C-alpha cells in the first residue's frame, strides 16, 4: 500500500497560475497521515485529484494496493427527509452494525440519532458525516476538515479511535491544526505557498496512539519542522 | 447646362403653391372630426359605410369621419356614452337593452330592412315551409346571442318545446354543419351564408335559407345610432352625417355602381375572394333595399315594437322601453 | 393562509367595484356601461347559482389539467435533466414552445377535438405545463453536490435517489411554482372556454358579453376570484404540510 505523486501539476481552467506544481511525495503503508498548509495552497485540490486521476493511464498519481479512495469534506450534508439514525442504518453495510454502534458512542452522537440533520450543530453534522464514510469499504479515506467545529478533546478521542479501529487503512487528514497533525499523524505532507518557493516536503509526525505519553521535546521539534515551511 | 438647387429662382413660388394647397385641404378647412364605430369588421355588409369615406361623401359634407371596425368586444353604444364615438352601428336588441338600462341612445336609421340573421340547411332535407317543420331538427344557435332569442320565439310560435328539437351551441367554425352533425345552422345570409352556400354548391349540394321574417318574426338588425346628448347639442352635425351616410348607402346599393363599390370594399377586405364579394354585395342589396321604392334607412316601426316585445317575453329587459319614441326619422332632423 | 387569501381577494374586489362605481358617478354613465349597485345586486341574485356551478365546472378542468401538467412536467423534467442530447433538446424545445400563446391555439384544438371536456382539459394542461416544466428542469438539472457526493463516491447513487434529493432540496421552489400555476391554469381554461367551449364560466362570460351584461360579468369575476383564492390557499397549505412532514422543522433545537 503506497501513495505516490511524481511531478503532479494542475492548473484550474482559465487560470494562469498552477495550483499544484511539480508535486512529488510518497507515503507508504497504512497509517494516519496529514496534508498541512495555509489556505489556498492546494490541499483540497490535491485531495480531489487523488480521487479523480488515480486510475488514469497517464496519471502522476500512483496508489498501488489501494482500490478505493474516498473523499469526505466538512460541508457535506445528509438528506433531510429522515433522521440521521435511520440514514446511518441505511448506509451501514451488513456486518458493520457493531462498528457503527461503537463509533456512535465514541463520537457522542447517540442522543441525536432521532434528529434530522439540519437540527444538529455543525460539529455534530461533521461527526455524523465522518461516521458514514468510516462505515464504507475504503483503502484510503481523505478527511478534508472533517472534524471542524469539534472541540479539541473530542477531536483527540475521535482521531485515536479511528487509528485504533482502522489499523490497516490509510488516512489523509487535511487540517489547519498544527498541534494535532504533529501529535497524531504518521507522515505529514507540508505544502507551502508558491511565493515562498519552498515547495513541498514530508515531515514525520509523532503518530501517537491511545494511551500515549507526550514527549514534549520531540513534539516541539516536529512542530518547528513543520513551521519551517512558512 | 443644369441648374443647381441654390440657383433655382422659382423656389418661393413652389413653396407658396404648396402652402396654399395645404391650407385649402378640407382637413384644414375646419372639417368636423367624427368617430363612427361599426358593429363588425370591414366587409361587404358595410359597403355604404366604406363608400362614404372612399368616395368623399363625408368630406364633401365637411366631416372628417374615422370609421372604425367593430368586434364582439366593442360596443358602439358604450362608446357613445364614453365619448369615444359620435355615431355607431348597433342591432335593435343592443339598443333596447341599452335603453332598458338607462342609456341615452337614439336611432337615426334602420339599415337592414330584412334581418340577415337566418339559418342555412341542406336542400336534401325537407324544406321548412311551416314552423312545425322545425320539429326533430338539430338546430344550431349561439347561446346568449340574438339568434337564440329569435329561435326561441319561433319555437314558441310553433308550439314546440326544447324536447321537440335539438339545440346545439355554435362556435366560429362551420365544422359541425359541414360534417352534417347539425342540420340547421345560423348564418348572416349576406356574408357567411354566401360563403357556405358557395362551398356546398362546389360539392353539388344545394341549400335553403330559413328566414324568420317569413314566419312573422321580425327582429330588427343593424341600425345607425347616436347619443341623445349629441342630438340635443349638435343636431346639424347629426343631420349632415346621416344625410351623407345614407347617400353613400344609396349609391352603394345601386347595381350600376357595383364595380366601384367592390373596389372600395376590396381596399378594406382583401382576404375575401372577388366572386364571393360580388355575391355578398348582391345579397346585402336584397336585405338593405329589398325594393327599389324603399328608401334606405326607413324604420319598420312594427318590427321594432315586435323586437321589444320578444326581448320582454324572453326576460332580457325588465320592462317596455318605448322604443318607438327613440326612432328619429330623417324628416325630423 | 386560506382565510387570508379570501379576504385579500375580497378587499381587492371591493376596491375595484368602488372604483368602477366612482367612475360611473363622475362620468354620469348609465347602467348599460357600468351597472349600478341595484342592478349588480339583482343580477347577482339571478345568476349566482348557475355561475357558481360553472366556476366549479371550470375548476374541475383546471385541477385535472394541472395534475396532468405536473405529472408530465416531472416526467419530462426528470428525463431531460441530464446534459445529454435528449436533455438539451427538451430544454430548448420547452423554452421555445412556451413563448407561444397557447390560448391562440385554442380555436384549432376546439375544431379538431370538439368543444367538450377534453379540449378544455388539453388547453388547461398546456397552459401551465411549460412554466412547470422549466422549473422542474431547472431543479432537476442542478446537482446538490453536498448531498449527492457521498452517494456517488460510494456507488449508491440511483436516478430515483438523485431526483428525490433534488426535489427535496428545492421543495419550496416546486410548491411555489405549483401553486402559482393554478392561477395560470384557471385563467387559460377560462379564456379557452370564452373562445370556443360550451360549458364553464368562460362560456357564461361570453354569453354575458353578447348581452352587454356587465353586472353578470362582475358576478362571474367574483366567483372566479373566490374559487381561485380558495384553491390557491389550499395548494399553499398543502405545500406547507408536505414541507413540514418531509423536512425538519425550521429553527430546530441545537443539542
The dihedral through the CA atoms of B123, B127, B133, B134 has a sign that is positive
Residues C168, A115: C-beta atoms closer than 8 Å: no
Cβ contact, residue pair C255, A133, below 8 Å:
no
CB contact under 8 A, C146 and A77: yes
Which residues in chain A are contacts of C251 at CB distance < 8 A?
none
Spatial separation of the C-alpha atoms in residues A45 and A43, rounded to whole Å: 5
Q: What is the pLDDT of residue B28?
A: 44
In chain C, the percentage of residues whose pLDDT exceeds 90 is: 50
Residues of A in contact with C247 (CB under 8 A): 80-81, 116, 118
Query: Across the interface, do A79 and C253 touch by the CB < 8 Å criterion?
Result: no
Distance from the Cα of residue C190 to its chain's centroid: 11
Q: What are the structural domain ranges in chain A?
A: 2-227
pLDDT tens, residue by residue, B122-133: 999 999 999 999
Q: Do A121 and C255 touch (CB under 8 A)?
A: yes
Chains A and B make contact, 3+ CB pairs within 8 Å = no
B103 vs A18, residue with greater confidence: B103
**A133–C147 C-beta distance less than 8 A:** no
Residue C119's pLDDT is what?
86
Give the one of B98, B142, B144 whose C-beta lies nearest to C32's C-beta: B98
Give me the pLDDT at residue C111, please: 78
Q: Looking at the DSSP assignment, which residues form a beta bridge with residue A121?
A: none
Please report the DSSP string for chain C in residue order.
-HHHHHHHHHHHHHHHHHHHHHHHHHHT--TTTS--HHHHHHHHHHHHHHHHHHHHHHHHHHHHHHHHHHHHHHHHHHHTTSSSHHHHHHHHHHHHHTTS-HHHHHHHHHHHH-SSHHHHHHHHHHHHHHHHHHHHHHHHTS--HHHHHHHHHTT---HHHHHHHHHHHTHHHHHHHHHHHHHHHHHHHHHHHHHH-SSSHHHHHHHHHHTT-HHHHHHHHHHHHHHHHHHHHHHHHHHHHHHHHHSPPTTPPP-
Where is mean pLDDT largest: A59-63, A219-223, C65-69?
C65-69
pLDDT score, position C237 = 87
Q: C164: which chain A residues are within 8 Å (Cβ-Cβ)? A: 79, 81
Is residue A154 less than 8 Å (CB to CB) from chain C?
Answer: no
Given CB atoms, is C251 within the 8 Å cutoff of chain A?
Answer: no
Q: Is C32 close to B81, i.e. CB distance below 8 A?
A: yes
Q: Do C252 and A115 touch (CB under 8 A)?
A: yes
Closest CB to B172: pick one of C30, C196, C209. Answer: C196
Shortest distance between the Cα of B244 and any Cα of chain C, in A, equals 29
- Of the pLDDT bands very low, low, confident and very high (cuts 50, 70, 90), residue B22 is low
Cβ under 8 Å to C: A residues 46-75: 51, 70-73, 75
User: Are the C-beta atoms of residues B265 and B42 closer than 8 Å to each other?
Assistant: yes
Of C149, C153, C246, the CB nearest to A81: C246
Question: Does C210 contact A at CB distance below 8 Å?
Answer: no
Buried/exposed C184-202: b ≥16 CB within 10 Å, e otherwise: bbbbbbbbbbbbbbbbbbb
Which candidate from A71, A118, A129 shows the least CB-CB separation from C248?
Answer: A118
Predicted pLDDT of residue C250: 44
**Pick from A75, A121, A132: CB nearest C146:** A75
For residue C209, which residues of chain B lie inside 8 Å, CB to CB?
72-73, 144
B positions 11-40 inside 8 Å of C (CB) = none
How confident is the model over C198-214, as a mean pLDDT? 89
Residue of chain A nearest C165, judged by CA positions: A79
List, for residues C83-118, the tens digit of each pLDDT value.
Answer: 678 778 877 887 787 777 777 787 788 878 877 788
pTM recorded for the entire structure = 0.77
* CATH superfamily name and code, C2-14+49-246: MetI-like (1.10.3720.10)
Taking an 8 Å cut-off on Cβ atoms, the answer to whether B142 and C29 are in contact is no
Q: How far apart are the first and last CA of chain A?
A: 30
User: Hey, CA dihedral for C50, C55, C58, C64, is it positive or negative?
Assistant: negative
Shortest CB distance from B102 goes to which of C27, C30, C110? C30
Select the residue of C154, C156, C247 nearest A81 (Cβ to Cβ).
C247
Beta-carbon separation of B82 and C32 below 8 A: no
Cβ-defined contact of A118 to C252 (cutoff 8 Å): yes
Q: In angstroms, rounded to a whole number, what is the distance separating the alpha carbons of residues B222 and B48?
A: 13
Tell me what percent of chain B is helix, strand and coil, each rounded to the nearest 5: 50, 15, 35
Tens of pLDDT, residues A162-201 = 999 999 999 999 988 899 999 999 999 998 876 666 678 8
State the smallest CA–CA distance between residue A135 and chain C in angstroms. Answer: 11
Provide, rounded to the nearest whole percent, the portion of chain B with pLDDT above 70: 94
Report whether pLDDT(C227) > 60.
yes
Q: What is the dihedral of CA B225, B228, B232, B236, to 10 degrees?
A: 0
When pLDDT is averaged across residues B256-279 and rounded to a whole number, the result is 95
All residues at 6 or more sequence positions from B160 whose CB lies less than 8 Å from its CB, including other chains:
B131, B132, B134, B135
Question: H or E stretch including A116?
Answer: none
3-state secondary structure of A191: strand
Burial (CB < 10 A; 0-12, 13-18, 19+), residue C159, is exposed
Does any CB of chain A come closer than 8 Å to the CB of residue C245?
A: no
What b/e readout covers C83-99, taking b as 16+ CB neighbours within 10 angstroms?
A: eeeebeebbeebeeeee
Give the single-character DSSP code of A194: G
List the grid coordinates of B148: 337564440
| Bridge partners, A116 (sequence order) | A83
Whether residue A116 is predicted with pLDDT greater than 90 in this model: the reply is yes
What residue of A is the nearest CA neighbor of C244? A81
Average pLDDT over residues B162-186: 90
Pick among C26, C27, C30, C209 to test the B interface (most B CBs inside 10 A): C30
Q: Which residue has the higher pLDDT, C13 or C124?
A: C13
Look at C255 and A81 and tell me if their CB atoms are within 8 Å. Answer: no
Choices 2.30.42.10, 3.50.50.60, 3.40.50.2000, 3.40.190.10: CATH for B26-114+220-271+289-332: 3.40.190.10
**Nearest CA-CA partner of C253 in A82, A85, A121, A114:** A121
Can you name the CATH fold of A2-227? Rossmann fold (3.40.50)
Contact between C239 and C230 (Cβ < 8 Å): no
What residue segments make up the domains of chain B, in order of their start? 26-114+220-271+289-332, 117-215
Q: Which three cell numbers stand for residue B52?
A: 362614404
Q: How far apart (Å, rounded) are the C-alpha atoms in residues A25 and A5? A: 5
ipTM score here? Answer: 0.90
Residue A70 to residue C154, Cβ atoms within 8 A: yes
Residues, chain B, total?
A: 333
**Cα gap A54→C1, rounded to integer Å:** 55
CATH of segment(s) B117-215 = 3.40.190.10
Q: Which chains touch C (3 or more CB pairs under 8 A)?
A: A, B
Those of residues 154-173 in C touching chain A at CB distance below 8 A are 154, 156, 164-165, 168
Amino acid at each position: 500500500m503506497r501513495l505516490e505523486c511524481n511531478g503532479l501539476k494542475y492548473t484550474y481552467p482559465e487560470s494562469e497560475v498552477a495550483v499544484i506544481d511539480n508535486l512529488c511525495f510518497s507515503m507508504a503503508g497504512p497509517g494516519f497521515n496529514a496534508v498541512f498548509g495555509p489556505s489556498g495552497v492546494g490541499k483540497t485540490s490535491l485531495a480531489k485529484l487523488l480521487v479523480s486521476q488515480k486510475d488514469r493511464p497517464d496519471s502522476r498519481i500512483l496508489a498501488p494496493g489501494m482500490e478505493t479512495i474516498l473523499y469526505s469534506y466538512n460541508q457535506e450534508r445528509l438528506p433531510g427527509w429522515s433522521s440521521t439514525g435511520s440514514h446511518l442504518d441505511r448506509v451501514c453495510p451488513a456486518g458493520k452494525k457493531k462498528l457503527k454502534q461503537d463509533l456512535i458512542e465514541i463520537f457522542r452522537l447517540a442522543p441525536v440519532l432521532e434528529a434530522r440533520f439540519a437540527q444538529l450543530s455543525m460539529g455534530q453534522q461533521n461527526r455524523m458525516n465522518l461516521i458514514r464514510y468510516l462505515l464504507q469499504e475504503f483503502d484510503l479515506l481523505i478527511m478534508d476538515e472533517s472534524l471542524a467545529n469539534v472541540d479539541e478533546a473530542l477531536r483527540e478521542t475521535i482521531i485515536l479511535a479511528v487509528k485504533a479501529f482502522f489499523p490497516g487503512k490509510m488516512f489523509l487528514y487535511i487540517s489547519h491544526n498544527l498541534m494535532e497533525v504533529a501529535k497524531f499523524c504518521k507522515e505529514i505532507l507540508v505544502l507551502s505557498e508558491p511565493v515562498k518557493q519552498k515547495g513541498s516536503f514530508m515531515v514525520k509526525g509523532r503518530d501517537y496512539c491511545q494511551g500515549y505519553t507526550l514527549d514534549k521535546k520531540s513534539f516541539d521539534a516536529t512542530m518547528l519542522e513543520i513551521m519551517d515551511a512558512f | 447646362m443644369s441648374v443647381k438647387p441654390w440657383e433655382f429662382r422659382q423656389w418661393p413660388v413652389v413653396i407658396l403653391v404648396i402652402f396654399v394647397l395645404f391650407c385649402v385641404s378640407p382637413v384644414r378647412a375646419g372639417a368636423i372630426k367624427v368617430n363612427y364605430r361599426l358593429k363588425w369588421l370591414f366587409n361587404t355588409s358595410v359597403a355604404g359605410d366604406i363608400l362614404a369615406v372612399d368616395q368623399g361623401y363625408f368630406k364633401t359634407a365637411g366631416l372628417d369621419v374615422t370609421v372604425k371596425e367593430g368586434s364582439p368586444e366593442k360596443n358602439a353604444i358604450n362608446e357613445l356614452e364614453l365619448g369615444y364615438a359620435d355615431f355607431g352601428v348597433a342591432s335593435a336588441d343592443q339598443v333596447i337593452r341599452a335603453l332598458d338600462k338607462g342609456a341615452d341612445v337614439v336611432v337615426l336609421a334602420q339599415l337592414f330592412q330584412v334581418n340577415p340573421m337566418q339559418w342555412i340547411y341542406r336542400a336534401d332535407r325537407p324544406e321548412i315551409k311551416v314552423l312545425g317543420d322545425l320539429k326533430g331538427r338539430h338546430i344550431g344557435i349561439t347561446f346568449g346571442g340574438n339568434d337564440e332569442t329569435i329561435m326561441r320565439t319561433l319555437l314558441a310560435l310553433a308550439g314546440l318545446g326544447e324536447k321537440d328539437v335539438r339545440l346545439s351551441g355554435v362556435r366560429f367554425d362551420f365544422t359541425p354543419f359541414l360534417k352534417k352533425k347539425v342540420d340547421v345552422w345560423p348564418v348572416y345570409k349576406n356574408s357567411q351564408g354566401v360563403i357556405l352556400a358557395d362551398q356546398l354548391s362546389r360539392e353539388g349540394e344545394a341549400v335553403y335559407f330559413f328566414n324568420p321574417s317569413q314566419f312573422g318574426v321580425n327582429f330588427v338588425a343593424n341600425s345607425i345610432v347616436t347619443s341623445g346628448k349629441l342630438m340635443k347639442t349638435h343636431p346639424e352635425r347629426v343631420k349632415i352625417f346621416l344625410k351623407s351616410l345614407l347617400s353613400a348607402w344609396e349609391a352603394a346599393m345601386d347595381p350600376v355602381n357595383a364595380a366601384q363599390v367592390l373596389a372600395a370594399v376590396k381596399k378594406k377586405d382583401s382576404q375575401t375572394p372577388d366572386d364571393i364579394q360580388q355575391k355578398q354585395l348582391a345579397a346585402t342589396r336584397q336585405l338593405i333595399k329589398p325594393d327599389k321604392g324603399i328608401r334606405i334607412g326607413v324604420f319598420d316601426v312594427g318590427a321594432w315594437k315586435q323586437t321589444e316585445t320578444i326581448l320582454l317575453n324572453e326576460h332580457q329587459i325588465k320592462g317596455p322601453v318605448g322604443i318607438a319614441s327613440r326612432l328619429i326619422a330623417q324628416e325630423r332632423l | 393562509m386560506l382565510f387570508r387569501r379570501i379576504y385579500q381577494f375580497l378587499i381587492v374586489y371591493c376596491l375595484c367595484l368602488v372604483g368602477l362605481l366612482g367612475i360611473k358617478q363622475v362620468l354620469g354613465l348609465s347602467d348599460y356601461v357600468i351597472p349600478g349597485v341595484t342592478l349588480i345586486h339583482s343580477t347577482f341574485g339571478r345568476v349566482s347559482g348557475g355561475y357558481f356551478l360553472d366556476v366549479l365546472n371550470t375548476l374541475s378542468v383546471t385541477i385535472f389539467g394541472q395534475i396532468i401538467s405536473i405529472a408530465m412536467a416531472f416526467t419530462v423534467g426528470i428525463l431531460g435533466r441530464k446534459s445529454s442530447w435528449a436533455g438539451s433538446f427538451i430544454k430548448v424545445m420547452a423554452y421555445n414552445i412556451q413563448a407561444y400563446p397557447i390560448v391562440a391555439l385554442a380555436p384549432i384544438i376546439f375544431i379538431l377535438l370538439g368543444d367538450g371536456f377534453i379540449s378544455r382539459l388539453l388547453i388547461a394542461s398546456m397552459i401551465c405545463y411549460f412554466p412547470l416544466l422549466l422549473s422542474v428542469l431547472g431543479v432537476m438539472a442542478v446537482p446538490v453536490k453536498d448531498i449527492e457526493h457521498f452517494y456517488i463516491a460510494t456507488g449508491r447513487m440511483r436516478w430515483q435517489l438523485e431526483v428525490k434529493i433534488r426535489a427535496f432540496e428545492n421543495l419550496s421552489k416546486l410548491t411555489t411554482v405549483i401553486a402559482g400555476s393554478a392561477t395560470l391554469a384557471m385563467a387559460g381554461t377560462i379564456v379557452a372556454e370564452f373562445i370556443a367551449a360550451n360549458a364553464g364560466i368562460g362560456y357564461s362570460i361570453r354569453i354575458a358579453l353578447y348581452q352587454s351584461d356587465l353586472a353578470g360579468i362582475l358576478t362571474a369575476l367574483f366567483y372566479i376570484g373566490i374559487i381561485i383564492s380558495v384553491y390557491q390557499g389550499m395548494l399553499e397549505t398543502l405545500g406547507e404540510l408536505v414541507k413540514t412532514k418531509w423536512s425538519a422543522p425550521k429553527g430546530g433545537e441545537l443539542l
